[in-house]
Amino acid sequence: MRIGILGTGNVGKTLAAAWLRAGHDVVLGSRRPGDEELLTGLKELLRAGLRVDDPAGTAAHAEVLVNATPGTASVALLSSIGAPALEGKVLLDVAVGFLPDASLSHQVVSLGEEIQRAFPDTRVVKSLCTIDRTVMVAPESLEGPSTVFLSGEDAEAKRIVGGLLGDLGWPAEALLDLGGIVTARGQEHFALLFVGIALATGTFAFNIRFVPPGRRTTDAA
């Protein structure tokens, strides 16, 4: 599958490496695709088949476009690409917006919703924003099974994203579809609890698991 990843930070590079290993055709999008410092830092990925392009070229390449940009800048960057170029595409949004004081930039309407409203013909799916980048691509590194969430309006888009999550190592039973894009609010707001847990435990390499109710039996009268 042709995957375009917007954002050259740690999350974007980690996802790019994992999907390259899975055999996908991956382009990483940057505002400075010819920058020597950037390309030097990506040399191992470039040897593995990664290509670097500007945001518009990355979107044109992609069957699935991944937003791994800072959440406070995501809509502006996507707007610079333009709605026509994003029409019909699956957009996996993994970003969360933080302000300088560590509060969330999207406290009422989620970034996922904001993107979907700005680009109504783009099939937005929110996922992977509740875990650290190391766990995104290595769920088997955890002690036992855990849960990754999906939010979005398009069932086929969520199926496609689910397949890409499978390529990262997430089994089907780990995926929990929360419903429409409005449920992205819960995923993004979990970031505050995530940071609290990380500071309390001294690690970011963890996840949570949905544990359903147990079956209770009663003695027959």
For residue range 68-104, what is the model confidence (pLDDT) as tens digits?
999 999 999 999 999 999 999 999 999 999 999 999 9
Amino acid identity at 55: P
Sign of the alpha-carbon torsion through 67, 124, 139, 197: positive
Q: Considering only CA atoms, which of 111, 62, 67 is closest in space to residue 89? A: 62
- C-alpha to C-alpha distance for 119 and 147, rounded to whole angstroms: 28
Instruction: Tell me the per-residue pLDDT of 145-156, one tens digit each, with 9 for 90 and over.
Output: 999 999 999 999
Question: How confident is the model over 193-198, as a mean pLDDT?
Answer: 97
Domain spans of the chain, in order of start: 2-201
> How are beta strands 2-6 and 25-29 bridged, if at all?
parallel
Half-sphere exposure of 162 (CA within 13 A, CB side): 19
Q: How confident is the model at residue 216 (pLDDT cuts 50, 70, 90)?
A: confident
Residue (of 19, 31, 18) closest to 62 by Cα position:
19
CATH number assigned to the domain with residue range 2-201, chosen from the 4 options 3.30.450.20, 3.10.50.40, 3.40.50.720, 3.40.50.11540: 3.40.50.720
Arithmetic mean of pLDDT, 177-186: 98
Asked if the model's pLDDT at residue 218 lies above 70, the reply is: no
Q: Residues 14, 134, 101, CA angle at the centre, nearest 5°?
A: 95
**pLDDT for res 114:** 97
Res. 215 pLDDT band, cuts 50 70 90: confident
Burial class (CB in 10 A: 0-12, 13-18, 19+), 108: exposed
> Is the entire prediction scored with pTM above 0.85?
yes
Does the structure show a pLDDT above 60 at 165?
yes
